[in-house]
Amino acid sequence: MIIAGIVTFEPDIDRLRENLEAISPQVPHVFIYDNGSSNSEAIADLVHTSPNAVVVYSETNNGIAAALNRLAEAALDHGATLLLTLDQDSVCSPAMVSTLAAEFADGIGMVTPYIVDRNKLTLEEFRALPLPQVERYRQPARRGAITSGAIVDLVAWSRVGGFDELFFIDYVDYDFNQRLMDAGYVILRVNTAALLHEVGRATPTWLRVPRKDLAGRWHIERFFAFGHSPARCYYKARNRVLFTRKHGRKLGLTHEGIWQIPQQIALTLVFERQRFAKLARFVHGIRDGLRAPLTKR
């Protein structure tokens, strides 16, 4: 059985409604974990209109990793073997769940859809892309699988120790990906299934950059400014340091973890507002990432 889990924090209620309306017909149960939102009453009113959704409220924001772990525990308690994890603003395409679930076999730890970032790509443009039906993720972070839209095998989740709650937000998924891969699990992307999603507040720039796709082929694409808050910049730096401290010996000089921080800072200073506030948070994040004790998982 597949259960869907949605993590919320100060959600846009209209977008959350769109999310629920898309996923509710595809699964028997939808669990929502709310991380201390000020609009919890509006969330409750919305959930009451969905016959198979329930919400658990936290008085404080415990972070996305803790929320995902509580959702996984609840799914196991209800007899689920698979958990679909969703952000509050993500919208599943029709039949996405069944399309992803069909790819599970022995050794598959997680299956994801193609992420259609609303700020970068339309559904029509996505459908025109020349993509293979299924691709395997080769790296945990660079072009790595994100949690939103992913279906996770709960045996694999338990075996690798769940999501690392030290990360709180940002790189939570990439750290989990690395531990799945270390345990011998395969992570797949099914390109016939799409998830409408927003990664930050991405805006297009004039810059063109070389990037690799999942198959390792180079191509040139437009760079989109991240649009993250200063607080998110703190976690982007802190958690990349934590990731490298945990996994750096295995990954070497691959362009993941701390090797992304100079690039992140440079692009933020060139293309974004609140430059000095964000720079300060990057610096604080690096400092705290070096000092924080690592989780033993």
Q: Indicate the SS3 state at residue 124.
A: helix
Pairing of strands 150-153, 82-87: antiparallel
H runs (alpha helix) in the chain: 13-23, 40-47, 64-77, 96-101, 123-127, 154-159, 172-182, 230-251, 261-271, 275-291
**The pLDDT of residue 254:** 77
**The pLDDT of residue 152:** 98
pLDDT digits (tens, 9 = 90+) for 152-187: 999 999 999 999 999 999 999 999 999 999 999 999
**The pLDDT of residue 31:** 97
Q: Give residues with Cβ within 8 angstroms of 54, minimum separation 6.
A: 29, 30, 31, 32, 47
CA dist 206 and 203 (Å) reads: 10
Q: Indicate the SS3 state at residue 18.
A: helix
pLDDT of 217 higher than 80: no
**The pLDDT of residue 210:** 81
**The pLDDT of residue 143:** 85
pLDDT of 284 higher than 90: yes
State whether the Cα torsion 167-171-177-182 is positive or negative: negative
Q: Which of 49-53, 74-78, 139-143, 194-198 has the highest mean pLDDT?
A: 74-78
Helical axes 230-251 vs 172-182, angle rounded to 10°: 20
Of residues 202, 252, 192, 270, the one with CA closest to residue 232: 202
Query: What DSSP letter does each residue of 249-297 carry, written as one string?
Result: HHHTTSS-GGGGHHHHHHHHHHH-SSHHHHHHHHHHHHHHHHHSPPP--
Residue linked to tokens 């994801």: 112
**The pLDDT of residue 1:** 93
pLDDT of 200 higher than 70: no
pLDDT digits (tens, 9 = 90+) for 89-122: 999 999 999 999 999 999 999 999 999 988 788 8
Q: Which two tokens stand for residue 58?
A: 């936290």
pLDDT digits (tens, 9 = 90+) for 226-283: 889 999 999 999 999 999 999 988 887 777 899 999 999 999 999 999 999 999 999 9
Question: Which value, to the nearest 10 degrees, does the dihedral of the CA atoms of residues 251, 252, 256, 258 take?
Answer: 130
Query: What DSSP letter does each residue of 42-62 carry, written as one string?
Result: HHHHHHTTSTTEEEEEESS--
**The pLDDT of residue 226:** 85
Please tell me whether the overall predicted TM-score, pTM, comes out greater than 0.85 for this model: yes
**The pLDDT of residue 297:** 67
Average pLDDT of the residues of the chain: 92
Pairing of strands 150-153, 108-117: antiparallel
